[in-house]
Every structure is written in C-alpha cells, then in structure tokens.
C-alpha cells in the first residue's frame, strides 16, 4: 500500500506522522519505505540524526515524476509512506497520483479546516483518472482532554473524505524522539503516543 501524507498548509506535522507510520509498519515486521517528497528534506534530516541501524530506508524524491518512479521502488516493499510537499503544485499532484491513500493531517484549528479545501480539490482532480484513490483526514496535534479535536472532526465532515477514528494528540514524546532520530515506538514503546500511532496504522492498513 502506498500512503501519502499531504496538506498544503505547513506546520501540521506531516513529517512526524510519516516517520512514525513508517516505523510502526517496520516494527510490525513489514517492509516499509519512506519517500521524502518535501523539498525541505525533513525526513532525510531525521534519518541523518539517527545512530545505529535504520528501521527503514528513507529516499529523497522531491520531483514531479514521482508517480512514474514510485511503482518500481514500491515493488520491493509491503508499504510505502510518502512525506509530501507543503503546497499544492505539480509535485503534490505527482505524489497523490502515486498513492493508494492520501492522509491529510489537520490540526484542531479553523484555519486548518479552511486550508484543507485546496488539497481536497487536488485529490478529487486525480480521482478522475484514478478512481480507486482514497482520501482520509486525521486530526493531528489534538490537545488532550479538550473538545476542540472533536469539533474539528465535525467540521471536516463537510468534505467528501472520512475522518480517521484515531486522533494523534499533542505530546512531548514526538519532539523528544525526533531529536534523537527515533520514532515514538522506540522512544517509549508502551506510551500513549506509540499506542495511538499503532492504532492509526491498523485503521489505515487493515480496513
């Protein structure tokens, strides 16, 4: 399965989500590949800070021929995660064309809900040519024990894509693990961050 993590709004946690989804898949015994399609190269930076063995390969591929190049790469893996670019352009369209599922992280803010419109339209444009393509929202960086995450999920129901049942909460573990080139599953395998990432993976891959 090829899962793209995209949103035209920057700072929504795309790379953190991409890295941890790939890690959860790899630690479950799957052959996982992470493609860094963001010109900023944040996933590659994360990999470079890591000490010791890598859980999965990270390949930089921020070019608009992504949809042509990914199928050959993907043939050697069970799952591919694409950390997409932070704006709607030809590179984003190419990343979407390569995917089976596009995951759209949205923070609990009305600005994020409004900003989702452009990426939704781009996915729908690609769906004209790729009917089996799916889109899915995930509430990311939700503040624990607040209603705002639920309110955002409700607001997103005006769009044609489902909202993931699993929300990813704002937790220090995400930043602390990234600083060491680790995933939250390695940083604290039984912690709440690890549990929610694993739950999201189950929801996306085993549906």
Residues 21-71 have pLDDT tens digits of 999 999 999 999 999 999 889 999 999 998 878 899 999 998 999 999 999
What is the distance in angstroms between the CA of the first residue and the CA of the last residue of the chain? 12
Instruction: Calculate the alpha carbon distances from 54 to 26, 35, 48, 174, 182 in Å.
Output: 10, 14, 10, 18, 9
pLDDT in tens, 91-119: 999 999 999 999 999 988 888 888 888 89
Domains of the chain: 2-205 (3.40.50.300)
Q: Give the model's pLDDT for residue 26.
A: 96
Question: What is the token pair recorded at 185?
Answer: 């599953």
89, pLDDT greater than 70:
yes
- Percent of the chain clearing pLDDT 70 (strictly above): 97
State the pLDDT confidence band at 180, using cuts at 50, 70 and 90. Answer: confident
Looking at the chain, the whole-number percentage of residues with pLDDT higher than 90 is: 68
- Residue 45 C-beta-side C-alpha neighbours within 13 Å: 11
Q: Is 28 exposed, middle or buried, given 0-12, 13-18 or 19+ CB atoms closer than 10 A?
A: middle
Q: Count the neighbouring beta carbons within 10 Å of the beta carbon of residue 110.
A: 11
CB-neighbour burial class of residue 186 (10 A; exposed 0-12, middle 13-18, buried 19+): middle
pLDDT for the residue 149: 63
SS3 state of residue 138: strand
User: For the residues 4-24, what does the mean pLDDT come to?
Assistant: 90
Q: Tell me phi and psi for residue 59, to 5 degrees.
A: -120, 130
Banded pLDDT at 8 (limits 50, 70, 90): confident
pLDDT in tens, 197-207: 999 999 998 75
Q: What pLDDT sits at residue 53?
A: 84
Q: What is the mean pLDDT of the chain?
A: 90
Q: Report how far residue 19's alpha carbon sits from residue 36's, in angstroms, rounded to the nearest whole number.
A: 10
Q: How confident is the model at residue 87 (pLDDT cuts 50, 70, 90)?
A: confident
């Amino acid at each position: 399965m090829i899962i793209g993590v995209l949103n035209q709004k920057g700072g929504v946690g795309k790379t953190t989500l991409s890295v941890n989804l790939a890690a959860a898949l790899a630690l479950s015994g799957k052959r996982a590949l992470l493609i860094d399609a963001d010109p900023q190269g944040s996933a590659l930076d994360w990999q470079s800070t890591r000490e010791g063995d890598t859980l999965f390969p990270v390949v930089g591929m921020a070019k608009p021929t992504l949809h042509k190049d990914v199928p050959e790469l993907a043939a050697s893996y069970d799952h591919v995660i694409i950390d997409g670019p932070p704006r709607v352009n030809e590179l984003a369209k190419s990343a979407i064309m390569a995917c089976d599922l596009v995951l759209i992280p949205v923070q609990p803010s009305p600005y994020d809900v409004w900003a989702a419109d452009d990426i939704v339209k781009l996915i729908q444009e690609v769906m004209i040519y790729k009917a089996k393509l799916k889109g899915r929202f995930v509430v990311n960086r939700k503040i624990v024990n607040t209603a705002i995450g639920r309110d955002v999920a409700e607001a997103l129901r005006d769009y044609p894509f489902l909202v993931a049942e699993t929300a990813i909460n704002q937790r220090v573990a995400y930043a602390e693990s990234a600083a060491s080139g680790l995933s939250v599953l390695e940083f604290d395998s039984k912690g709440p961050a690890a549990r929610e990432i694993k739950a999201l993976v189950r929801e996306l891959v085993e549906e």
